[in-house]
Amino acid sequence: MENSGLFQTAEGFAADLGVTVRTVESWMERNLLPTQKIGKRRLINLYQIKKNLDSGEPINKTTIAKFLKKSKK
């Protein structure tokens, strides 16, 4: 389940944003990204990110800017 549209691995998210996996893991550890534990894996909740962006709620200024830039391509 690399990217089901609802959830994405740290590796996939890092590749999409052009940052290191360690950077994404750090954001996850600091609760800067919404995550969901599915089985033994902690995945990034893309649905929640989109919902936050649509409602104008901040996630993190750096990740929002990079996410929006990538999602418009």
pLDDT at 55: 80
How confident is residue 57, by pLDDT bands cut at 50, 70 and 90? confident
pLDDT at 56: 79
In the chain, what are the domain boundaries?
Answer: 7-65
CA distance 73 to 71: 6
What are the pLDDT digits (tens) for 20-51? 999 999 999 988 898 999 999 999 999 988 88
Burial of residue 68 (number of CB atoms within 10 Å: 0-12, 13-18, 19+): exposed
The 3-state DSSP class for residue 42 equals strand
pLDDT at 1 over 50: no
Domain 7-65 class in CATH: mainly alpha
pLDDT at 49: 87
Give the N- to C-terminal CA distance of the chain in Å, as an integer.
Answer: 22
